[in-house]
């Protein structure tokens, strides 16, 4: 028996969940699409964005500054990571990239645990978005509503950078054929650094924007990383629109399945991913030809 | 490529937790200094033939139960320190203890279980085979406790359970070699149920948030069974996986269920997150919250959301007014770690102190003798008054403490989160020893 108000609530909730997953996944997929690097430290960077924002909030009590600081800090971390470590791995096997980013992720998590302990930390939503909104068919946390808007704006900005700027053009060309871009006299490696920074900033931004929804712990990036990979695979590895589509699909699957049988939410998510992989091995909007 | 990608992504946590394991001081015993008449069994006598005895500790240091695991570890470390130095508090619980257990200094190793049974079993197997651990401990997750029960029985090494709330731990999964000090689902329900009926009335509608493993299912079942007698019904039971990153979907179902009371069975970070999100979704404005198996630190981690909320717990530090040993423990713990101990630390400390007592009473580390010392069922001291272990299922019969979250204005200090509403004696809370199908198994 379907309760219609509950179904509509869950569909809406799926949208909110999906928006966030789309944002985190977009960073991951941009980095993979452009640089061919599977960044397993992406979940840890999401977590660090939350903590950097948390520290800023402690000192300034400004959520806006927290968001800026969280994004910038992780962007700088991403750039440093790319310059110091990742660039040595562009031409190495994927296994090496996976292990090194995986290792970095562990180091980041343990470092944060050392500094902040495992106890949860709270970042309250900005006063403007506190409380609950009556949507007519349900009550929904105002901040979660705001997150949908914030994510939409962030994804829009990312879209503009990727599709309406020269940098974006180079990045997208790099996804298709980095050798050709290089031969045109563009310093591909400098572009790579910027791309890594943008991808990392997206994770950091998502981390602090998500912080008032959850309570921060050092392990917060672990689960999100798995979901993010599922989103990327469903949408198509390396595809920015794919990350958005994949995120929304994943959000709806988790939310709607939870209405009928919560225990199967993740089973259905992985079942959907498997189905997509069988029917479209490159994902729904995946870029053909990249290995 | 994509297949590989996901496999890597999925295996990340497993690898992380394996890597995060910490193995402490390896103490291989010297050649046997003396021969006892008793036949060798498990790690006895090899493990205690030198001047030391080794304990294998596995607690979650990562994952959803990490905070509680760290608290538990502090309790174990303090107990070992007290046992090795013959501290006054240990002597109150185990009068024959002078320095160490039976004169042997305790050494220990620590591994991160991440609240995962396979991680805990691997670590303890290593402690048993490499360090000849004479006793092992672990829990916090009942899935871990049940797995270690089986390991202990197979390896013939005594297992002193860490926090474990499942009825199964000393119920259908009980073993001769396992002992549990803390309370569990059945006792939680029997202790807090009457308080709920008294406070909220009969014939109420309840919604449950249940973590999907042995602990969650048995606690929820015990609560449902108890409350059904007072005419309460379950309008929804939302079962979520351990470590769920978001509870919004479950909470929407709860919000739309028309329940009067939300019974949150989640534990660790899951309890903190689900309670916070219940507040965000307005669920706590619509219905009362009850936490039948209170998670240590939930009050401080949720930043005041436990105000007015009833919960059942093993220990709350303000009972020191009634129990002198609790006062001694609180003082020693706070001096060493800088905060009031919570239930994890208390459970850890008392479990080790009781084990030390049983070894001293038996006059040997020989496991069957130590087990038989527990099985005498003698009344012995603990931090919450006198208790005893039931010989039939190795469950400690001990009081359950009902607390109610204080309003902020009533808090006398920053750790004064709860009023102790009632200290319910253990005897009347317990199910019959065979009610959950316990068959203890062999001594040898």
Q: Look at the block and give the residue holding tokens 């990153």.
A: B245
**What is the predicted pLDDT for the residue at A2?**
66
CA A191 to mean position of chain CA atoms: 20
Burial of A142 by CB count in 10 Å (0-12 exposed, 13-18 middle, 19+ buried)? middle
- The DSSP line for B185-229 is HHHHHHHHHHHHHHHH-SS-EEEEEEESSHHHHHHHHHHHHHHHT
- Of the partner residues B2, B15, B301, the one whose CB lies closest to the CB of residue A215: B301
Asked whether the CA dihedral A182, A186, A187, A193 is positive or negative, the reply is: negative
- Of the partner residues A10, A229, A265, the one whose CB lies closest to the CB of residue B5: A229
**What is the predicted pLDDT for the residue at B26?**
36
Residue of B nearest to A99 (CA): B8
> pLDDT class for A180, splitting at 50, 70, 90?
confident
**What is the predicted pLDDT for the residue at A21?**
92
User: What SS3 class is residue B134?
Assistant: coil
Q: Which residue, among A37, A16, A95, has the nearest Cα to A237 in the 3D structure?
A: A37
To test the contact with chain A by mutation, choose from B6, B255, B266, B342 the residue with the greatest count of A C-beta atoms within 10 A, namely B6
**What is the predicted pLDDT for the residue at B36?**
56
- The DSSP line for B15-28 is HHHHHH--------
Neighboring chain B residues of A285 at a CB cutoff of 8 Å: none
**What is the predicted pLDDT for the residue at B17?**
35
To test the contact with chain B by mutation, choose from A215, A270, A277 the residue with the greatest count of B C-beta atoms within 10 A, namely A215
- Of the partner residues B256, B276, B277, the one whose CB lies closest to the CB of residue A6: B256
* Contact status of A93 with chain B (Cβ, < 8 Å): no
ω into B304 cis (within 30 of 0): no
Q: pTM of the predicted model, to two decimals?
A: 0.82
**How far does B395 lie from chain A, in Å, by closest CA?**
30
**What is the predicted pLDDT for the residue at A16?**
87
A195 with A171: CB under 8 angstroms? yes
Residue of B nearest to A267 (CA): B241
Residue of A nearest to B247 (CA): A214
**DSSP code at position B439:** -
B292 with B429: CB under 8 angstroms? no
Residue B5 to residue A106, Cβ atoms within 8 A: no
**What is the predicted pLDDT for the residue at A239?**
86
Interface contacts A/B by beta carbons within 8 Å: 158
Q: Edge to edge, what strands does the sheet with B380-382 contain? A: B380-382, B385-389, B396-397
Neighboring chain B residues of A222 at a CB cutoff of 8 Å: 12-13, 16
- Of the partner residues A17, A259, A262, the one whose CB lies closest to the CB of residue B240: A262
Whether residue A101 is predicted with pLDDT greater than 70 in this model: the reply is yes
**What is the predicted pLDDT for the residue at A214?**
86
* Contact status of A132 with chain B (Cβ, < 8 Å): yes
A285 with A248: CB under 8 angstroms? no
CA B205 to mean position of chain CA atoms: 29
Neighboring chain B residues of A219 at a CB cutoff of 8 Å: 62-64, 66, 243
Interface of A with B in 7-66 (CB under 8 A): 9-10, 13-14, 16-17, 38, 40, 43
Question: What are the helix (H) ranges across chain A?
Answer: 4-35, 42-60, 63-84, 94-116, 142-164, 166-183, 188-210, 220-235, 240-260, 265-279
Residue B62 to residue A9, Cβ atoms within 8 A: no
**Count of beta carbons in the 10 Å neighbourhood of residue B303:** 15
**ipTM for this prediction:** 0.80
**Averaged pLDDT for residues A101-121:** 93
The set of residues, in sequence order, having a beta carbon less than 8 Å from that of B317 and lying 6+ positions away, is: B326, B330, B340, B341, B342, B415
**How far does A79 lie from chain B, in Å, by closest CA?**
22
**What is the predicted pLDDT for the residue at B148?**
96
Residue A283 to residue B2, Cβ atoms within 8 A: yes
Query: What is the rounded CA–CA span in Å between residue A222 and residue A44?
Result: 7
The set of residues, in sequence order, having a beta carbon less than 8 Å from that of B290 and lying 6+ positions away, is: B192, B196, B261, B262, B263, B264, B309, B310, B311
> pLDDT class for A175, splitting at 50, 70, 90?
low
Residue B252 to residue A110, Cβ atoms within 8 A: no
Lowest-confidence segment of A51-55, A127-131, B1-5, B18-22 by average pLDDT: B18-22
The helix (H) or strand (E) run that includes residue B269 is: helix B268-280
- Of the partner residues B6, B241, B272, the one whose CB lies closest to the CB of residue A230: B6
| Weakly modelled stretches of chain B, pLDDT under 50 | 1-35
**What is the predicted pLDDT for the residue at B19?**
30
* Contact status of B11 with chain A (Cβ, < 8 Å): no
Asked whether the CA dihedral A271, A274, A278, A283 is positive or negative, the reply is: positive
Neighboring chain B residues of A229 at a CB cutoff of 8 Å: 5-6, 9-10
Residue B67 to residue A113, Cβ atoms within 8 A: no
Residue A118 to residue B249, Cβ atoms within 8 A: no
User: Above pLDDT 70, what percent of chain A?
Assistant: 97
* Contact status of A229 with chain B (Cβ, < 8 Å): yes
More confident residue, A123 or A287: A123
Tokens of B353: 């102190």
Interface of A with B in 166-225 (CB under 8 A): 213-215, 217-220, 222-225
B165 with B181: CB under 8 angstroms? no
**What is the predicted pLDDT for the residue at A288?**
58
* Contact status of A156 with chain B (Cβ, < 8 Å): no
Q: CA dist B268 to A175, B274, B330, Å?
A: 43, 10, 22
Half-sphere exposure at residue B139, Cβ-oriented, CA atoms within 13 angstroms: 35
**What is the predicted pLDDT for the residue at B13?**
37
Name all contacts of A275-279 with Cβ < 8 Å and 24+ positions apart.
A276/A233, A276/A234, A277/A233, A277/B2, A277/B3
* Contact status of B241 with chain A (Cβ, < 8 Å): yes
Query: What is the rounded CA–CA span in Å between residue A12 and residue A252?
Result: 8
Q: Which residue, among B411, B410, B226, has the nearest Cα to B312 in the 3D structure?
A: B226
Neighboring chain A residues of B140 at a CB cutoff of 8 Å: none
């Amino acid at each position: 028996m379907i309760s219609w108000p509950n179904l509509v609530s869950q569909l809406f909730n799926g949208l909110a969940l999906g928006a966030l997953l789309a944002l985190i996944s977009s960073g991951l997929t941009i980095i993979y699409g452009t640089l061919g690097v599977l960044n397993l430290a992406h979940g840890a960077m999401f977590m660090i964005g939350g903590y950097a924002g948390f520290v800023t909030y402690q000192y300034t009590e400004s959520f806006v500054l927290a968001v800026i600081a969280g994004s910038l800090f992780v962007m700088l971390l991403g750039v440093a990571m790319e310059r110091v470590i990742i660039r040595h791995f562009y031409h190495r096997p994927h296994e090496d990239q996976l292990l090194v980013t995986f290792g970095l992720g562990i180091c980041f998590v343990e470092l944060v645990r050392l500094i902040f302990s495992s106890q949860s930390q709270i970042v309250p939503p900005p006063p403007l978005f506190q409380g609950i909104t009556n949507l007519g068919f349900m009550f929904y946390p105002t901040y979660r509503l705001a997150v949908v808007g914030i994510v939409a704006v962030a994804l829009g900005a990312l879209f503009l950078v990727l599709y309406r700027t020269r940098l974006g053009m180079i990045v997208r060309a790099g996804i298709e054929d980095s050798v050709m871009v290089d031969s045109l006299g563009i310093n591909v490696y400098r572009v790579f650094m910027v791309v890594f920074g943008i991808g990392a900033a997206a994770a950091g931004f998502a981390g602090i924007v998500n912080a008032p929804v959850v309570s921060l712990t050092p392990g917060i990036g672990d689960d999100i990383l798995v979901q993010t990979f599922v989103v990327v695979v469903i949408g198509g590895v390396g595809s920015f629109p794919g990350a958005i589509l994949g995120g929304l699909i994943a959000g709806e699957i988790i939310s709607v399945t939870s209405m009928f049988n919560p225990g199967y939410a993740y089973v259905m998510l992985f079942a959907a991913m498997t189905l997509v992989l069988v029917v479209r091995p490159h994902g729904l909007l995946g870029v053909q030809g990249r290995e | 490529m994509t297949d590989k990608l996901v496999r890597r992504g999925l295996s990340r946590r497993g690898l992380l937790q394996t890597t995060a394991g910490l193995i402490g001081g390896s103490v291989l015993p010297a050649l046997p200094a003396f021969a006892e008449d008793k036949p060798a069994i498990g790690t006895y006598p090899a493990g205690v033939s030198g001047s030391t005895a080794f304990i294998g500790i596995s607690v979650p240091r990562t994952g959803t139960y990490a905070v509680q695991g760290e608290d538990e570890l502090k309790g174990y470390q303090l107990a070992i320190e007290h046992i090795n130095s013959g501290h006054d508090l240990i002597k109150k619980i185990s009068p024959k203890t002078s320095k160490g257990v039976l004169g042997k200094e305790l050494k220990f190793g620590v591994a991160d279980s991440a609240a995962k049974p396979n991680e805990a079993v691997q670590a303890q197997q290593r402690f048993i085979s490499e360090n000849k651990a004479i006793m092992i401990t672990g829990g916090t997750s009942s899935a871990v406790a049940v797995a270690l029960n089986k390991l202990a029985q197979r390896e013939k090494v005594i297992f002193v359970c860490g926090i474990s709330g499942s009825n199964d731990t000393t119920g259908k999964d009980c073993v001769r070699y396992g002992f549990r000090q803390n309370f569990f689902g059945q006792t939680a329900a029997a202790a807090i149920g009457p308080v709920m009926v008294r406070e909220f009335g009969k014939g109420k509608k309840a919604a449950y948030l249940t973590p999907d493993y042995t602990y969650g299912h048995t606690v929820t079942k015990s609560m449902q069974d108890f409350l059904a007698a007072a005419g309460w019904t379950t309008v929804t039971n939302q079962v979520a996986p351990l470590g769920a990153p978001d509870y919004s979907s479950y909470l929407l179902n709860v919000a739309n269920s028309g329940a009067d009371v939300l019974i949150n069975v989640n534990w660790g970070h899951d309890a903190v997150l689900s309670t916070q999100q219940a507040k965000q979704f307005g669920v706590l404005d619509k219905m009362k919250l009850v936490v039948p198996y209170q998670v240590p630190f939930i009050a401080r981690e949720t930043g005041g959301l436990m105000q007015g909320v009833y919960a059942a717990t093993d220990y709350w530090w303000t009972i020191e007014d009634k129990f002198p040993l609790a006062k001694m423990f609180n003082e020693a713990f706070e001096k060493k770690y800088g905060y009031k101990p919570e239930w994890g630390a208390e459970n850890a400390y008392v479990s080790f102190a009781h084990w030390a007592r049983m070894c001293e009473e038996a006059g040997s580390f020989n496991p069957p003798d130590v087990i038989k010392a527990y099985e005498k069922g003698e009344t012995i001291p603990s931090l919450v008054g006198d208790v005893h272990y039931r010989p039939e299922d190795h469950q400690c019969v001990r009081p359950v403490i009902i607390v109610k979250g204080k309003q902020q204005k009533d808090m006398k200090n920053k750790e004064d989160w709860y009023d102790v509403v009632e200290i319910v004696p253990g005897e009347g809370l317990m199910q019959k020893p065979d009610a959950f199908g316990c068959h203890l198994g062999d001594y040898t």
